[in-house]
A and B are shown apart, each in its own frame.
Chain A
Amino acid sequence: MIQLENKCQTLEIVVQRFHTKFNLLNQRGLPRLVAMNDKLISLSDYNHKLFTIAQDKSKFAGVKGSIIGKACLEALEFDLIIKHEIKHIFINKPIFEKYTEVDETIKG
């Protein structure tokens, strides 16, 4: 019982950390991962969303020509932050093994 509670707490921390990070990226313009019923959407749907955003960004309002220096970096700032955060969102890749060595839900 205590073992299950401990595992549950550890799991909650990992899941919560991921959702907090991803919510921040959502605020910066990354599309949400869940559908209306709070279930994870499919990869193909998500790829389609990202593709649409990439197309929209290429039609960036007002700036079609070449800009340089600080202005250019400022215009790309949020996109670069999202790219960096996504690449480093998992410090350790999540695994099931440590939570399911003893399947408490079945054992009970």
Chain B
Amino acid sequence: MEVELEKLLKEKEQSSQLALVPLNAVPISVTGTAKASTSTTPPTTDSSNELIKAMQEMSIQGKEIEKLKDQLKNLQEQKLKIDNSYVAELQKSHRLAQRIYFLESESVMAQNLAQAKENIWVDINQAITEIWPSIQIIFEQGELMQRSKTVIEVREMLGDKPSEATTLIKVLNSKTKEKVEELQIADRT
């Protein structure tokens, strides 16, 4: 678009220069001829109208040229800005590419994810083996806890009967066989 605009501008400028040459001389010749015409031949109104018309066209074209020049200037400024930002982005992209390359080469994990996973699980296996005695103790403690709970429940059910039984055994053991028979107890056990 910019190229087209420049071409158009050149064409306009050329046409205006071509038109300017005779027209610059027109007012002098017109006045000259006008003054002279008073004495010689009178100027035709058609030619003066044509000249005025040509001058008006000229001024319109001149304005148009100025306008196009402004547009061209703006476009050139925009192009400069885009060029600058493009260079900046290019540099940024280059820096990022360098950073990625650096990180890839530095990263330990970059080798192989699957290998890393396998290594971690081998470590877990080793750690489990190390704590296995403790795990066994925990499970044994769980069993011990269950047994203790059973004992507590049985004791609660029996109440004070174990101590009563102990006292009874002591009483029976303190008696002779005859006295036990007197008490109508057939068997001491």
Interface residues of chain A, those whose CB is within 8 Å of chain B, are 1, 4-5, 7-8, 11-12, 14-15, 18, 30, 33, 39-40, 43, 46-47, 50-51, 53-55, 57-60, 63-69, 72-73, 75-76, 79-80, 82-83, 86-87, 89-90, 93-96, 99, 104-105, 108
Contact = CB atoms under 8 A, between A and B. Distances in A.
A40 B138 CA distance: 10
24 contacts: A1-B152, A7-B148, A8-B149, A15-B138, A40-B136, A50-B125, A54-B122, A64-B113, A65-B112, A65-B113, A66-B112, A67-B110, A68-B104, A68-B107, A68-B110, A72-B109, A75-B113, A80-B120, A83-B123, A89-B131, A96-B140, A99-B144, A104-B148, A105-B144
B151 interface: yes
A75 B117 CA distance: 9
Contact of B155 (A47, A82, A108): A108
A14 B138 contact: yes
Contact of A94 (B109, B112, B134): B134
Given A40-B136, A68-B110, A72-B113, A15 B145 contact: yes
Given A79-B124, A94-B134, 15 more contacts: A8-B149, A11-B144, A11-B148, A15-B138, A15-B141, A43-B129, A50-B124, A53-B121, A54-B125, A58-B118, A63-B114, A66-B113, A68-B104, A68-B109, A99-B144
B113 A67 contact: yes
B20 interface: no
Contacts of A66: 110-113
B179 interface: no
A1 B104 CA distance: 66
